[in-house]
Amino acid sequence: MVISHSGIVTYSPAYTIVPTYECFNRCTYCNFRTAPGQSPWMTLAAAESIFLQLQNQKVCEILILSGEVHPNSVQRQQWFQRIYDLCELALGMGFLPHTNAGILTLAEMQQLKNVNVSMGLMLEQLTPALLQTVHRHAPSKLPEIRLEQLAWAGKLHIPFTTGLLLGIGETEDDWWETLNAISDLHQRYHHIQEVILQPHSPGNQQTFDAAAFDPHQLPEVIAKARQILPPDITIQIPPNLVQDDRWLLACIAAGARDLGGISPKDEVNPDYPHIQEQTLREILQPAGWELIPRLPIYPQFDSWLTEELQTAVQHWRNQIRDSQQL
């Protein structure tokens, strides 16, 4: 059945760079982490080689996605400098960096603001009950620490993405509490671009023994989230974790309007390959939705950037506009 509506769904042409998979947290649902000392760090030379290959592939966003080095580790400064240098390199080679590297200090966020057009941190869930289960060995998953980082992002005028992880032992009331906390912070600082609703999807590495979040529940959660969140926050869903075309369309009809970064590999959920742009178009177009690329910063936040970053962003806005007119 063709739905009689038209509208726009966005995605970011992206590539993920991982400075390190090492992480001092041990979340039991994680399929990303390696133990400290168990994997090499990304070098600038290796990143430069990747960026050279990407320059003619219409990739706009470089997502810097990292495991966390403990704040008191002797390697913390080296880790942070590597992230900063990777962002600076990506920017210098014509890309727009977006960093999600877990908990950062206020000073670290201030520095990264100069080489990122936006940043992110998943709240996941605010319920302290998870500190006794999936987050028992994850010190940086304390709800108050993560809320503080979202507030700092607002105070620093950093365009920000956050989100919920659904199906890790929380209740429905926990979803609404977390969404309301995001809404409250946004109404204070007006800095949240997107909220991701990410269903737990079991992978080969995790020790958390629980079924996948039922994707048939997602449209209902999205519809309620759309009621709670201010209208200028976009709801994002990862299409590779909704593996049924009908339910993906139902999620969009319920209020999701962004499909996130589409890149060769989903580093967080490596068992679930990204659905590529052309396939997504074939799903969406018959139902009246137009899939268009976007930047990792939404236009209303451009004025928050440094002059250098604004120039880089405008270059990409012009490129996307010209390509859509062809």
CA dihedral angle for residue 22, residue 106, residue 236, residue 268, rounded to 10 degrees: 0
- Model confidence pLDDT, tens digit, residues 88-142: 999 999 999 999 999 999 999 999 999 999 999 999 999 999 999 999 999 999 9
pLDDT class of 323 with cuts at 50, 70, 90: confident
Q: Is the pLDDT of residue 3 over 70?
A: no
- Model confidence pLDDT, tens digit, residues 63-103: 999 999 999 999 999 999 999 999 999 999 999 999 999 99
Q: Is the pLDDT of residue 5 over 70?
A: no
Cα–Cα distance between 273 and 132 in angstroms, integer?
31
Question: Average pLDDT of 235-252?
Answer: 95
- Position 37 scores a pLDDT of 87
- Model confidence pLDDT, tens digit, residues 246-278: 999 999 999 999 999 999 899 999 999 999 999
- Model confidence pLDDT, tens digit, residues 270-304: 999 999 999 999 999 999 999 999 999 999 999 99
- Position 39 scores a pLDDT of 87
Of 184-193, 222-231, 260-269, least confident by mean pLDDT is 260-269
> From residue 68, how far is each of 15, 25, 72 by CA, in Å?
20, 7, 11
Question: Average pLDDT of 148-171?
Answer: 98
Cα–Cα distance between 260 and 9 in angstroms, integer?
10
Cα–Cα distance between 286 and 269 in angstroms, integer?
28
CB under 8 Å, gap of 24 or more: what pairs does 199-204 form?
199/166, 199/167, 199/241, 199/242, 200/29, 200/165, 200/166, 200/167, 200/168, 201/241, 201/269, 201/271, 201/272, 202/29, 202/271, 203/31, 203/269, 203/270, 203/271, 203/272, 204/31, 204/271
pLDDT class of 2 with cuts at 50, 70, 90: very low
Q: Is the pLDDT of residue 326 over 80?
A: no
pTM to 2 decimals? 0.96
pLDDT class of 224 with cuts at 50, 70, 90: very high
- Position 325 scores a pLDDT of 59
Q: Is the pLDDT of residue 174 over 50?
A: yes
For 7-325, CATH gives 3.20.20.70
Q: Is the pLDDT of residue 1 over 70?
A: no
pLDDT above 90: percentage of residues in the chain = 92
